Amino acid sequence: MRLALWEARHAAALKNYDDAARFYMTLFNDLELEERRKYLDEFVAVLEEMGSANAGSDYSKQIMLLLQSRVLFPHEATVLNASAKFFFVVGRLLEAFDFAQEAVSGSEGLSHIYALVNLENIKSNIMDQWHWAMLNDMNRNAAYASAIELVANWRPESRVLDLGTGTGLLTSIARRLCFHLINSTARLSSWHFKRDVYCCEVDLNMCDIAEKILNEAVIRKHSSEIILEDIGSEKIDVVITETMDCGLLGEGIACSLYDIHTRILSSSPVIVPRCATVYACIIESTAIMDEHVSVFCGCRFASDSVTASYDTSGTLGELEPYWCCSAAEIRGGYKILSKTIEIFAVNFDSRAELYKIVNTGITELRMTPIIRDGTAHCIMAWFSCLLFPGAPLLNTSPETTGCWQQALYPLPKPMSLHRGCICTLKIKAYKDQLLCALRDIVIPEDPEIAENVEQPCSSDNGNNTLLKGKNVEQESKTDKDESSVLPSKRSRHDSDTSTSMIISYKNYASP
C-alpha cells in the first residue's frame, strides 16, 4: 500500500498524471471507502490535470480512468466536478454538462457552489446566455409550434429545411418528435410532415446538441454552403428559421433567405416567418447617453452603436449598428417622447424585397410626432413578426417579457424636443444591418416652441459629439456655425402643417 501511494505521488510530481491516477486506484482497491477519502483531494487534483497534460491525444485511457473513479467514489461531488472539468478542457462539452449537472444535484456546501460555477461556465460555452432564454420562451415556442402545425396541415407533402436549427427544437416540432402546449396542457401532435425534414447548423456545439436530441445527423454547414445533394437532390418547399435578433436583420436572415430563394427552393415555397414589421420611438434616458458617449480631455467619444447610423463614409465594416438591451433594465428608466411609428417592413417570402435588402439596400424616411417635452437621447426599436397566417404574432415590444431585447440607437448628441415637433428618421436596411438615425426636426410656427428648440440641451455644455479620432477644434468651429444655421432654414412641411422651421440634426450633431 505504501509503495502504491509513493508511486502515485512520485508520478504526480513528475506530471505523469495518467500513471499517478492508476497508482492511486491500485491503492484504493485495498482500502474501504472511508479510508480512500483520506487521499481524495490529491487524487482529484490528478484527475483535473489529466486533460490539460494530454493535449492532442485520443483521451480514451483518461476517460476509462474517470469511469473507474466513479466506481470507487460513487456520487462523490468532487470526482464529478473533476470529470466535468476534464471533459470541458478536452472540448467535449455535452459530457462535461452531464457530469456538472449530476454534481450539482448530489452536492451541498462548498462543493455545491463549485458545481454550480462549473455548470454555468459550461452552459455559457455550449451556447450564449441569450440562447437559454430563447429556449425557455414559451410564447415564442408555442407560436412556432402553431405556425408549423398550420403549414403541415396545409401542405403535408412538403420537404422542409430548418435553417439555423440551433439545438434542434423547431426541427423536432416539425418531425412530430416533441410535445407542445395547447391550452396549457401537453399533448402529442397529430400533424406532421410526411416527407423529409432537414436541418442545418454551423455552430459545432449546437450540432452536437441537435444530433443528440434528434438522434440523426445535422447538415453541418451554413445555409449558403448547402447544395442539393445535401437535401436529397430535391428542392425545398418549406423553410423554417428563427434567425432574428432584436434588430430583426442582425443574424443575417435576409441574406440567408435570399440565397436559398435563388438556389434550393421550389417554385412556390412557404417561409416561416412570413413577414415582420419594425417599430420605433424616441426616448429620453441619460443612462444610455452615459453608456455610449464619454468626454476625455475636452473631446467626446462615441461607441459604435452611435457612429454606425451617422457614418458618412458608407463603409460600416464591423460597426455594431445598435445596442441590444432590455428596456426594463435601463438604469433609471426612460421616458417616451414620440409616437411609436413603423420604420421598416419586409415580406420574407418575397424574393424581390429580399433582393433589394441584400444587393442595393433600402433607404426611407419616416416621420414621428413628438408627444411630450424632453431631451432625446436614443431611438428605441423592436419588431412584430407574423410566422404564418393564423399563428400568434411574435412581439418584442418593451411591454413584453420574451427572450428578445430591444434595439437601441443612441444619439450622438442630446437634443431638446418639445411637444408638437415632428422628427424625421432616416432608415437604411442593408444585408444584416438595420440603421436608424435622427435626421431633421420640423418645428411649427410657434414662437415659444421655436425659442426653446434653438437653445442647445443644457446637459450638452456647447460640445458636439465627436466621431472617433476627430479633434476638438473642429467641434468648436461647428458650434459657432450652428447658431446661424439653425433658424435660417424654413420650408412648407405638408398640407396639414403651417409654415415650419426645419432643423438638420445631422448638422447639429456633426463634429
What pLDDT was estimated at residue 240? 98
* C-alpha span between 253 and 324 (Å, rounded): 17
Q: Can you say whether residue 139 is alpha, beta or left, with left for phi > 0 and alpha for psi between -120 and 50 degrees?
A: alpha
* C-alpha span between 491 and 498 (Å, rounded): 9
Low-confidence ranges of the chain (pLDDT < 70): 53-58, 177-191, 312-318, 446-499, 510-511
Considering only CA atoms, which of 411, 408, 389, 388 is closest in space to residue 398?
Answer: 408
Provide the 3-class DSSP secondary structure of residue 136.
coil
Residue 50 near residue 15, CB atoms below 8 Å: no
What pLDDT was estimated at residue 467? 34
What pLDDT was estimated at residue 53? 63
* C-alpha span between 376 and 67 (Å, rounded): 61
What pLDDT was estimated at residue 338? 98
Residue 238 near residue 195, CB atoms below 8 Å: no
* C-alpha span between 126 and 206 (Å, rounded): 7
Residue 173 near residue 140, CB atoms below 8 Å: no
Q: To 5 degrees, how large is the angle CA 414–CA 404–CA 198?
A: 140
β partners of residue 408 = 323, 380
Strand blocks (E) in 227-319: 236-241, 265-272, 275-284, 293-296, 299-302
Per the structure block, which three cell numbers stand in for 123?
452552459
What pLDDT was estimated at residue 111? 86
What pLDDT was estimated at residue 508? 74
Backbone angles phi, psi at 347, to 5 degrees: -100, 115
What pLDDT was estimated at residue 113? 92
pLDDT digits (tens, 9 = 90+) for 42-54: 999 998 888 776 6
Is 0.95 surpassed by the pTM of this model?
no
Residue 127 near residue 164, CB atoms below 8 Å: no
Backbone angles phi, psi at 449, to 5 degrees: -65, -45
- DSSP tag of 463: P
Total Cβ atoms within 10 A of residue 451: 10
Q: What is the largest CA-CA distance in the chain?
A: 99
* C-alpha span between 60 and 355 (Å, rounded): 51
- Domains, the chain, ordered by start: 2-126 (1.25.40.10), 132-242 (3.40.50.150), 276-509 (2.70.160.11)
Strand blocks (E) in 348-390: 362-369, 374-386
Residue 314 near residue 251, CB atoms below 8 Å: no
Residue 371 near residue 419, CB atoms below 8 Å: yes
